[in-house]
Structure 1
């Protein structure tokens, strides 16, 4: 099978995985938001900040190192497996012992037993990370789709049952733990790979040189994406954190469904093109435009219909989410096309430069978020938006130098798509605030979505946008393939 066919097949399964995973996750989160309060979501949100960071450390950047190394052997996979298990075990023990510190930091006693409950997550996750890298390296995205969808559905269903039984915040904690248990179990079953009792010190050092800078970048980048929530939880309280986290997670839905899908497939694909600069550059620009074609109208559409969207999905008690989500929607728009820059750093082995850039951006982030906190969660969202613009330009500039791709070239390639999305957003917002003002939220939402979709597609057709026709042709080909298979 050619690389192109592998990428297209991988994208199909990766997209199916994301659609299924995010659909279940979205539905379960809406149900849980109706059953629980912003305060309860905020308490678990405090804990999830540290869980996410520890999960980043557990990987040690070694999974990407295995994908990057085109000649990785079974010995190297086994070496990485035992390194990750050791890291996971240390993190689980540390997290359990540090539970009182989390409760003290936030002045929230309930965090101590909650932290102890979820402490095994890191060891459990480490047991499946090498298996996930193996599936990704071999473009076995169908198996990864089964894992992702199954774990999301299983843990979400159990969390809803627990919430209905009045377990409150514990339902959310159990959801996080059960997700990891199901994921690791299915990764072992799908990969059918069993690690050997081997540990090669030379392999560990060589892969570690790649992974250590990636780990440093991932760690800094994690806090760049979560320091705002850490500050809100510490200084503004659980209620404000619950509101902000809900806005942030809704912003991430389109971002995760598009950029992350492409990234899961494009990283191993670009790693194979690391010695062919022209094909590498062409594939990167094409993928970025394809992401923008879908993410730009989605993010601007969310900002335009934010009020009816939140009132319909979450209810009046979550109305404070509206202004925050409107700001974060534009953050998501920028991040969707900056996210692929990471493919260049990792596929070309430039993780050291990526790490140093993260250090500089961390300082800017602290200054902007620190200034914004005096104006509440809206001020923090505005500070985050300003940082996103600065970060986006610097990432594009530095990564572009490796493949002779100026920032202006990337920006110009996206101007038409952005223009069409902005026109669509203005139309949707204007009609919603005039024609449908005072109408039921479901009517406002459905009519706005219809107007937005039809107007955007019409502009793509009238402008004869090449990326639109490329994506349409790809989707048509995949649908025809599925029809033939079903027969």
Structure 2
């Protein structure tokens, strides 16, 4: 049966492509900044109330059980998102596939509680794992409701859900932590986050899936989704092999330090990249047949990320030790150096994400899988080797691995699409070298001056970075041109249609 406009859930046309992308990006940016602030507040408050060992126990469970998140979605959300003409029945079928996967994973993770506790040698992990298994059922039901909102460009609704869910969960977790519940507070926080998210997206989507039935067009969706799911599986293993190794070899306390540093440096970047992917893919799909417009759109999106994300990460990482000591207390000072290193690695994770957009928007999930089959084992081997030097060695090894991954990803994408994408390497390196890196070095030098108080180090570091940003803007034509272009994009967002 042919697809008709009446039964298709197409992405609605929304004026000019550039304006639509800019507006979607702006709404998403505001929502994700708010969400990240809530996450940072969560890290700060709970670190004051819960000891590092409890965070380590919780991270042990998530490092292993979290791989189920990949099988929960299997790439079907992105398959639905990039489809130009997704029928209502296809959408409903994907909902039932995701829900079934969620129920199956709930059973599997619950059953693995005892083996996981045996692996780490800590029986306390049994109850933690069993409770955490609930989130996979909730997540399976949620997935396609989020896709429905996304396809109709309801970024405001998605951002509202992304903010309210973690906020409610944080309030409850803080109350529990104040009453001495420790790791139980972290578990309840996770479950509530998923539960509130589910309720919100169901109410706002106003979409009722039909019962599953055979319909044409499912095979391409499943093929793309499975390929992307396999890629994400490999990526997840790589991203969490550090926590698994540290937890198994070095214990919960060291993992607690590493996990908090990761939550401050890397997790916000990872979280903000997925929502921007939701915005970027539909618009890249629309211009993918015009090579010049396509590459220009990629460069513009990357430029926004470099000036925002890379500059923040290098400044933030440069003054990591005083930040950690100020907000967590002196007991967490060991996480400072780890956060500095992880901030550097997070930059390359962000840059690599743009290459992933190329594969996704072009429907090249097979090529993306091959890339990951080659590069993810390289990163894993580097991290395993780095473990000889403790948590610092693990952090540096991961940073090197993601730097190599970024370079190879651009080369692979250029070959797969027959497009010249090397400007996606040269342009960010120039911006980072001129704009971001010097600011990071200034903050690191100031924050390393032990004769200054922690508060003075913090304030002087920010002041030094701001002075550098103004200075380089005044003397560099490229930086001035880029900043003015970014301001133009911002004005486009604010301008009424």
**SS at the partner of 2:266?**
helix
Q: Residues 322-373 of structure 1, C-alpha deviation per residue, up to 9 Å, x if partnerless? A: 2212211211122221111111011101101111221112321232112111
CA contact (8 A) 1:290 1:467 kept: no
Deviates further, 400-409 or 62-71: 400-409
Cα deviation, residue 115, structure 1:
1.2
Cα deviation, residue 459, structure 1:
1.3
CA contact (8 A) 2:446 2:460 kept: no
Could you tell me which residue of structure 2 aligns to residue 438 of structure 1? 451
Which of 76, 90, 108 aligns to 1:76? It is 90
Could you tell me which residue of structure 1 aligns to residue 485 of structure 2? 470
Q: Residues 176-232 of structure 1, C-alpha deviation per residue, up to 9 Å, x if partnerless? A: 100000011111111111101132264443311111110000100011111111111
Q: Residues 398-454 of structure 1, C-alpha deviation per residue, up to 9 Å, x if partnerless? A: 0122444446422221233112222222333334445xx433212211221122123
Q: 1:5-154, aligned counterparts within 5 Å? A: 5-154=19-168
Runs of 4+ residues deviating >6 angstroms: none
CA contact (8 A) 2:135 2:194 kept: yes
**SS at the partner of 1:340?**
helix
Deviates further, 364-373 or 397-406: 397-406
Cα deviation, residue 166, structure 1:
0.7
Which of 443, 451, 470 aligns to 1:428? It is 443
Label 1:253 to 1:365 Cα distance change in 2 as closer, same or farther (>3 A).
Answer: closer
Separation in structure 1 between the aligned mates of residue 200 and residue 375 of structure 2, nearest angstrom: 37
Which of 174, 184, 187 aligns to 1:160? It is 174
CA contact (8 A) 1:341 1:399 kept: yes
Q: 1:138-217, aligned counterparts within 5 Å? A: 138-200=152-214, 202-217=216-231
Separation in structure 1 between the aligned mates of residue 215 and residue 72 of structure 2, nearest angstrom: 19
Separation in structure 1 between the aligned mates of residue 495 and residue 71 of structure 2, nearest angstrom: 43
Label 1:188 to 1:296 Cα distance change in 2 as closer, same or farther (>3 A).
Answer: same
Separation in structure 2 between the aligned mates of residue 201 and residue 69 of structure 1, nearest angstrom: 15
Once superposed, what is the RMSD of the aligned Cα atoms? 1.9
Label 1:260 to 1:207 Cα distance change in 2 as closer, same or farther (>3 A).
Answer: closer
Label 1:352 to 1:373 Cα distance change in 2 as closer, same or farther (>3 A).
Answer: same
CA contact (8 A) 1:277 1:403 kept: no
Separation in structure 2 between the aligned mates of residue 203 and residue 104 of structure 1, nearest angstrom: 45
Q: Residues 94-120 of structure 1, C-alpha deviation per residue, up to 9 Å, x if partnerless? A: 111111111111111111111111212
Separation in structure 1 between the aligned mates of residue 131 and residue 445 of structure 2, nearest angstrom: 49
Q: Residues 12-58 of structure 1, C-alpha deviation per residue, up to 9 Å, x if partnerless? A: 11011101111111112100001111100000001112342111211
Cα deviation, residue 479, structure 1:
5.3
Cα deviation, residue 76, structure 1:
0.5
Could you tell me which residue of structure 2 aligns to residue 456 of structure 1? 469
Separation in structure 1 between the aligned mates of residue 360 and residue 261 of structure 2, nearest angstrom: 30
Question: Is residue 372 of structure 1 aligned with residue 386 of structure 2?
Answer: yes
Label 1:244 to 1:433 Cα distance change in 2 as closer, same or farther (>3 A).
Answer: closer
Deviates further, 51-60 or 13-22: 51-60
Label 1:457 to 1:351 Cα distance change in 2 as closer, same or farther (>3 A).
Answer: farther
CA contact (8 A) 1:254 1:298 kept: no
CA contact (8 A) 1:251 1:329 kept: yes
Question: Is residue 250 of structure 1 aligned with residue 268 of structure 2?
Answer: no
CA contact (8 A) 1:66 1:207 kept: yes
- In the superposition, the TM-score normalised over structure 1's length comes to 0.94
Separation in structure 1 between the aligned mates of residue 397 and residue 421 of structure 2, nearest angstrom: 23
Which of 437, 460, 475 aligns to 1:447? It is 460
Separation in structure 2 between the aligned mates of residue 475 and residue 202 of structure 1, nearest angstrom: 42
CA contact (8 A) 2:36 2:268 kept: no
Structure 2: any 5+ residue segments left out of the alignment? Answer: 1-14
Question: Is residue 389 of structure 1 aligned with residue 407 of structure 2?
Answer: no
Could you tell me which residue of structure 1 aligns to residue 7 of structure 2? none
**SS at the partner of 1:166?**
coil
Q: Residues 119-155 of structure 1, C-alpha deviation per residue, up to 9 Å, x if partnerless? A: 1211111111001112112211000011000001000
Label 1:93 to 1:411 Cα distance change in 2 as closer, same or farther (>3 A).
Answer: same
Structure 1: any 5+ residue segments left out of the alignment? Answer: none
Could you tell me which residue of structure 2 aligns to residue 305 of structure 1? 319
Deviates further, 61-70 or 325-334: 325-334
Label 1:264 to 1:447 Cα distance change in 2 as closer, same or farther (>3 A).
Answer: farther
Q: Residues 214-271 of structure 1, C-alpha deviation per residue, up to 9 Å, x if partnerless? A: 0000100011111111111111111111111111111125524754453231112112
Label 1:281 to 1:402 Cα distance change in 2 as closer, same or farther (>3 A).
Answer: farther
Question: Is residue 3 of structure 1 aligned with residue 34 of structure 2?
Answer: no
